[in-house]
Amino acid sequence: MHIPDGFLDAKTALATAGLSAAGLGTALRQARLHMPRRSVPMMGLAAAFVFVAQMLNFPVAAGTSGHLVGAVLVAVLLGPAAAVIVISAVLIVQCLLFADGGLSALGANIFNMALAGSVSGYAVYAALRRVFPGPRGRLAAVAFASWCATVLAAVCCAGELAWSGTAPWAAVMPAMTGVHMLIGLGEAVITTMVVAALDRAGFADGQAGLSAGRGGLLVYGVLVALGLALFVRPFASPWPDGLEKTAAALGLGPR
C-alpha cells in the first residue's frame, strides 16, 4: 500500500504531510513526557521487528503469498503513541533506505498506515475489549481491529489518489477496498496468531511499560477525521440514501 512518488499532487502531498507531522509530533511529545526512558530502545527494536516481520511470507493460494503489516500488532502490544512512532520509523527507513514508498508521498503513507491504520485499529481494539473481556475476547478484538485498520488505510489511500486526480474515485475505491478487504482477512488471522503465541508465552500487552500515552487518542482521532473529510468526503454520494429516499416518498422529509 506504499504510494510511490508521482501519484499525489501538491495539495494532497502537503495536506497529508501536515496531518502526519502533527500526529507524529503529538506521539513524540507524549513519549517524551509519559514514557519511561527504557521505552526508547524498545521502540527502535520494535521498528526493526516490524520491518523484518513484513518480510516473513506465508502462502495464500495459487502460489501467491502474503505478509504481516503489523500496525495493529504494535499498537496492541505497545500502545497507540508508541505505534505511531514505530510505524512512522518503519516507513521513513523504507523510503530513505530502500526507495519503497515515495519521498513526496511519505506524509500520505504515514497518515494511512501509522495514523489511520494503527491508531484507529487500536481504538477499535480498545472499544471491543470493553465489550468482550477475557483472553478469547482479546483475540476477537485483535482480529476485527486488524481487519478494520487494513480496510481504513486502503480507503484513505484510495481517497488520496482520487483527490490528486490520479485515478477516478469510482474505480480506485472499489479496487483498493475490495482487495484490502481480502488482504485484511489474512492480516487479521496472522496478527491474532502472533498475539495468541505471545499470550501463551506470557507476554501481556503493554509489558514494556509503554501502555502510557493513551491520552492522545482524541488528537489522532481529530487528525484522521480531518484527513477523511479532505480526501474521502468530496466523493460522498450527492444522492439521497435509502432512508432519505423513503422519507421523501412518504412525504416525511424536511420541507
* Shortest Å distance, C-beta 40 to another protein: 6
- Triad 59, 60, 66: Cα angle to 5°: 75
Min separation Cβ 252 and another protein, Å: 39
Report how far apart, in Å, the C-alpha atoms of 133 and of each of 72, 111, 120, 126 are: 18, 30, 20, 11
Classify residue 103 by its DSSP letter. Answer: S
Judged by CB under 8 A, which stretch of 119-127, 191-199, 211-219, 247-255 contacts another protein?
A: 191-199
- Smallest distance from the beta carbon of 33 to another protein, in angstroms? 11
Nearest distance in Å: CB 31, another protein? 6
Interior/surface letters 116-131, b for 16+ CB within 10 angstroms, e for the rest = bbbbbbbbbbbebbee
CB of 168 to another protein, least distance (A): 5
Q: Pick the piece of the chain touching another protein (CB under 8 A) from 54-62, 137-145, 220-228, 229-237.
A: 54-62
Stretch that binds another protein, among 41-49, 135-143, 236-244, 246-254 (CB under 8 A): 41-49
Place of cell 514514557: 35
Of 89, 51, 74, the closest CA to residue 194 belongs to 74
**Residue count at the site for another protein (CB under 8 A)?**
69
52, 225, 236, 252: residue in contact with another protein (rule CB under 8 A): 52
CA atoms within 13 A on the CB side of 76: 31
Question: CA quadruple 153, 60, 185, 171: dihedral positive or negative?
Answer: positive
Q: How is residue 201 written as a grid cell? A: 508465552
Q: Where are the alpha helices (H) located in 201-241, listed in sequence order?
A: 217-231
- Under rule CB under 8 A, residue 182 binds another protein: no
Give the Cα separation of 111 and 90 in Å (integer): 13
Which CB atom, from 148 or from 176, has the smaller least distance to another protein? Answer: 176
Q: Is 57 exposed, middle or buried (0-12, 13-18, 19+ CB in 10 A)?
A: exposed
Question: What residues numbered 134-163 form the site for another protein, per CB under 8 A?
Answer: 161
Site for another protein in 75-94 (CB under 8 A): 77, 85-86, 88-90, 92-93
> Which residue shows C-alpha cell 523504507?
94
Which of residues 99 and 249 has its CB atom nearest to another protein in the complex? 99
- Interface residues with another protein (CB under 8 A)? 2-7, 10, 24-25, 28, 31-32, 37-38, 40-49, 51-53, 55-59, 68, 77, 85-86, 88-90, 92-93, 95-100, 102-104, 161, 166-168, 171-172, 175-176, 189-190, 193-194, 196-198, 201, 203, 207-208
